[in-house]
Amino acid sequence: MATHDTILQVLKEKSAMKQDVYARNLEVFSMLREAVSEFADKLKPQAAAIDKRLVVEYRNKSEFEFELRVAGDVLIFSAHTNVFEFDTSHPMWKTSYIRENAARSYCGMINIYNFLSDSFKYNRYNDLGYLVARIFVNHEGHYFVEGKRQLGFLYNDFASSKISKDDMVKILESAVLYCLDFDLFTPPYDEVKVISLAQVQETSAMMSVKTGKRLGFRYQADTDVE
């Protein structure tokens, strides 16, 4: 086959398929956005009835990003604009679903990060966020989730799991519960025993001291208990 014809064949079989993956991922992201907005609307008055200081708020940031604040936590949802394929060592290559059709291994990706709400409130740009989960979606609308605790094992049946709004709600609720249970630990003394004059001269020294839920500690594997 001539090189020109090979290029056309690749465009037909791979590049067009990647466009399908990208479009499907944005559809799922829109579905997730709607689920998060509805979740916030429902939870907000319920949380306020418990304590008016418990803020629940959905905020749209862009076509590819939105956030959910639940009390002292902020969950950032972001859709990656590129399409990914699993490397050959990934467990999904062992499934008959992928082996039967390698095109199914190309996925869009949605990331869910957890930050402290005070990091945004006080513009603490050095503060750390943590990847709670990432959702992979292929051109057929099948999905699985890599993530922390139950997010890492409840949603990994790639072959038979076709995305739905109900699935989005379940993933969202699992992510929120994980973040609420994932507490802020005191950093080791030796990590914070020295502070610069520049930090002290800020409006508040704490504004410039890096903060994260597990700062100075090992961020453990999905199956570990923090």
User: Is 189 contained in some domain?
Assistant: no
- Please state the separation of Cα 62 from the chain's center in Å: 16
Given this model, what pLDDT does residue 201 score? 63
Q: Which residues of the chain carry a pLDDT beneath 50?
A: 205, 215-226
Query: Is 20 a domain residue?
Result: yes
Total structural domains in the chain? Answer: 1
Q: Is 9 within the bounds of a domain?
A: yes
**Residue 127 near residue 115, CB atoms below 8 Å:** yes
Question: Phi and psi at residue 144, in whole multiples of 5°?
Answer: -150, 165
> CB of 72 within 8 A of CB of 118?
yes
**pLDDT tens-digit map of 16-31:** 999 999 999 999 999 9
Predicted confidence at residue 25, as pLDDT, reads: 97
Q: Which domain holds residue 88?
A: 3-183
Query: How many degrees, rounded to 5, is the angle at CA 127 between CA 123 and CA 131?
Result: 120
| Structural domain contains residue 195 | no
What are the pLDDT digits (tens) for 85-112? 988 888 889 899 999 999 999 999 999 9
Structure tokens at 128: 């750390």
Is residue 75 a part of any domain in this protein?
Answer: yes
Region of 150 please: left (phi>0), alpha (psi -120 to 50) or beta: alpha
**Is 193 a domain residue?**
no
